[in-house]
C-alpha cells in the first residue's frame, strides 16, 4: 500500500496544476491563427487605393491634392490719372503731387520713388511705380560701391556685345562685327587721362583668375581697376566672375593653355594646344577655350614655351585670333616665344611683358621687381609686367600702386599698352 500510495502521490505531483486553462488558451490561439489576416489586410489596402484612384478620376483637382489656399482677388477701378493710353499701346505715368508741408514717411518716398495707388491709402493695390533719374543714378553708384569700385565711370561696356559674337557648339565666340567693331576695342578699359605723352607709364596683367573664387574676389576688390585680369578657362561660374571683374572696372583677357617643354609632366590642362596636334584640332581646342566666357579683349598664353617657340604651328593660331578681332599678349615667361612677332606681322594689337613680378613669390622679391619696373618706365616711358594671382602678389601690387601716382607713375590697362600709340 505504501508503494501504491507513493506512486499515486508522484503522479499527482507530476500533473500540471493549470492544464485545463492551457488547453483552453491554446484553442483560442489556434482560432486567431486560422483567421486569413494577409487576405484581410490586402483587401483593406485594395479598397484604400481604389478609393483614392476613384476620387482622383472623378474630382477635378489640378493641384493633385497638394495643400493650397485660395485668395480672392478683387479688381479695383483705376483712376484715369494713373495711366493714359499711349500711341504705342503703353502707359504714361502721372506723378501724384505732394501736398505742401506734408513730410513723406513711406519707404518709397524716402528713396525718391513715387507710388500711385488707386485706393489712395497706401494699401496693397499699388499700380505704377516711377523712379526718378536721380534715384536710379544713386542706385547705380551704390552697386558700383558694393563691388569695390567707387567711380561709376569705371564700368565697362556690357558683354557680350551682339555685334561681335557668334553662336558655336562651344558657346559664344568673338568675331569682327559687320561695322568693323572688335573685342580688343569694344571691351577695353579706356586709357586714363593724360596717357599720351606721359613720361612713365606702367601696365600690369594679373593671370590665373577664375580658378579660386576667393583669390579671384580678393584680386578684383584689392587691385586698382587699371590692372588687367586674365582668366584661366577652367574655373567654375566664369561668366559671373568675369562680369564682377568688369563691373569693378577691370578689363579682362583669356588665358589659352599651350604646350610647355616638359609636357605632359607639366600639363596646363584639358584642350591644351600642342605641336603634335594638327591645325584643325588646335583651332577646335582654341574655340572651346574661347567659348568659356565673354567680354575679353584678347588672349594671353598659359604656359606654352614649347608651343609658342614653333612659328609654323603657332602662325595659323595667330591668324585665327586676328580674324576674331582680339589682341595677343605674350606673358614674358619664355624668351623664345614667337607670339608678339607673328602678331605684329598679322597686324594684331600685341605686347610682350618685360617683367614677371613673382617669378620668386616672396614679398621682398616682388617689391624688388616692382622697383625695377618703375625705374624702367621712368627711363623708357613704358613698362609692362605680369604676375599670378597669388595672395602675396596681389598684396604687393596693391601696396605699390597706392603711392605710384605720387612718384609720377601712370598705371594703365593692357589694352592701352598694346596699341601702337603707346609703344606697346
Domain ranges in the chain? 157-422
Query: For residues 24 and 399, which has the higher predicted lDDT (pLDDT)?
Result: 399
202, pLDDT greater than 80: yes
What is the model's pLDDT at position 416? 86
Say what percent of the chain tops pLDDT 90.
59
At 253 the pLDDT is 98
Tens-place pLDDT, residues 111-141: 344 444 444 444 444 444 444 433 333 333 3
Query: What is the per-residue pLDDT for 133?
Result: 37
pLDDT exceeds 90 at position 178: yes
Q: Quick one: average pLDDT of 338-354?
A: 94
Per-residue pLDDT of 221-258, as tens digits, reads: 999 999 999 999 999 899 999 999 999 999 999 999 99
Q: What is the average pLDDT across 318-343? A: 96
Q: What is the rounded average pLDDT of the residues 5-12?
A: 52
**pTM reported for the whole predicted model:** 0.66
Which of the pair, 292 or 33, is modelled with greater confidence?
292
The yes/no answer on whether domain 157-422 falls in CATH 3.20.20.370 is yes
**Three-state SS across the chain?**
CHHHHHHHHHHHHHCCCCHHHHHHHHHHHHHHHHCCHHHHHHHHHHHHHHHHHHHHHHCCCCCCCCCCCCCCCCCCCCCCCCEEECCCCCEEECCCCCCCCCCCCCHHHHCCCEEECCCCCCCCCCCEEECCHHHHHHHHHHHHHHCCCCCHHHCCCCCCCHHHEEEECCEEEECCCCCCCCHHHHCCCCCCCCCCCCCCEEEEEEEEECCCHHHHHHHHHHCCCCCEEEECCCCCCHHHHHHHHHHCCCCEEEEEEECCCCCCCCCCCCCCECCCCCHHHHHHHHHHHHCCCCCEEEEEEEECHHHHCCHHHHHHHHHHHHCCCCEEEECCCCCCCCHHHHHHHCCCCEEECCEECCCCCCHHHHHHHHHHHHHHHHHHCEEEEEEECCHHHHHHHHHHHHCCHHHCCEEECHHHHCCHHHCC
**pLDDT in the model for residue 193:** 86
Top-confidence residue, 50 or 283? 283
Amino acid at each position: 500500500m505504501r508503494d501504491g500510495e507513493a506512486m499515486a502521490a508522484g503522479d499527482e505531483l507530476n500533473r500540471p496544476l493549470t492544464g485545463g486553462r492551457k488547453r483552453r488558451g491554446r484553442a483560442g490561439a489556434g482560432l486567431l491563427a486560422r483567421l486569413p489576416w494577409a487576405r484581410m489586410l490586402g483587401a483593406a489596402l485594395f479598397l484604400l487605393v481604389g478609393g483614392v484612384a476613384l476620387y482622383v478620376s472623378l474630382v477635378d483637382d489640378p493641384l493633385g491634392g497638394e495643400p493650397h489656399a485660395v485668395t480672392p482677388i478683387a479688381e479695383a477701378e483705376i483712376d484715369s490719372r494713373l495711366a493714359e493710353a499711349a500711341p504705342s499701346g503703353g502707359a504714361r505715368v502721372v506723378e501724384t503731387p505732394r501736398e505742401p508741408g506734408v513730410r513723406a514717411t513711406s519707404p518709397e518716398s524716402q528713396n525718391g520713388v513715387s507710388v500711385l495707388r488707386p485706393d489712395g491709402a497706401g494699401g496693397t493695390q499699388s499700380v505704377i511705380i516711377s523712379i526718378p533719374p536721380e534715384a536710379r543714378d544713386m542706385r547705380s553708384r551704390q552697386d558700383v560701391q558694393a563691388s569695390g569700385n567707387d567711380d561709376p565711370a569705371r564700368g565697362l561696356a556690357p558683354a557680350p556685345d551682339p555685334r561681335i559674337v557668334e553662336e558655336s557648339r562651344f558657346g559664344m565666340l568673338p568675331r569682327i562685327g559687320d561695322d568693323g567693331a572688335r573685342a580688343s576695342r569694344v571691351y577695353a578699359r579706356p586709357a586714363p587721362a593724360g596717357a599720351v605723352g606721359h613720361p612713365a607709364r606702367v601696365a600690369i596683367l594679373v593671370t590665373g583668375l577664375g580658378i579660386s573664387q576667393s583669390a579671384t574676389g580678393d584680386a578684383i576688390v584689392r587691385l586698382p581697376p587699371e590692372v588687367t585680369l586674365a582668366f584661366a578657362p577652367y574655373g567654375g561660374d566664369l561668366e559671373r566672375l568675369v562680369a564682377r571683374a568688369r563691373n569693378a572696372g577691370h578689363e579682362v583677357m583669356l588665358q589659352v593653355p599651350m604646350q610647355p617643354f616638359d609636357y605632359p609632366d607639366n600639363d596646363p590642362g584639358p584642350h591644351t594646344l600642342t605641336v603634335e596636334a594638327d591645325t584643325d584640332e588646335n583651332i577646335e581646342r582654341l574655340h572651346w577655350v574661347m567659348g568659356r566666357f565673354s567680354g575679353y579683349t584678347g588672349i594671353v598664353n598659359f604656359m606654352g614655351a614649347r608651343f609658342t617657340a614653333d612659328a609654323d604651328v603657332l602662325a595659323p593660331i595667330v591668324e585665327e585670333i586676328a580674324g576674331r578681332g582680339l589682341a595677343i599678349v605674350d606673358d614674358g615667361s619664355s624668351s623664345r616665344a614667337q607670339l608678339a612677332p607673328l602678331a605684329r606681322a598679322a597686324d594684331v594689337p600685341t605686347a610682350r611683358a618685360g617683367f614677371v613680378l613673382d617669378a620668386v613669390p616672396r614679398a621682398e622679391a616682388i617689391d624688388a621687381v616692382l622697383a625695377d619696373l618703375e625705374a624702367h618706365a621712368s627711363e623708357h616711358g613704358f613698362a609692362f609686367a605680369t604676375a599670378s594671382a597669388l595672395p602675396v602678389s596681389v598684396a604687393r601690387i596693391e601696396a605699390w600702386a597706392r603711392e605710384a601716382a605720387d612718384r609720377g607713375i601712370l598705371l594703365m590697362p593692357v589694352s592701352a599698352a598694346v596699341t601702337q600709340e603707346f609703344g606697346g
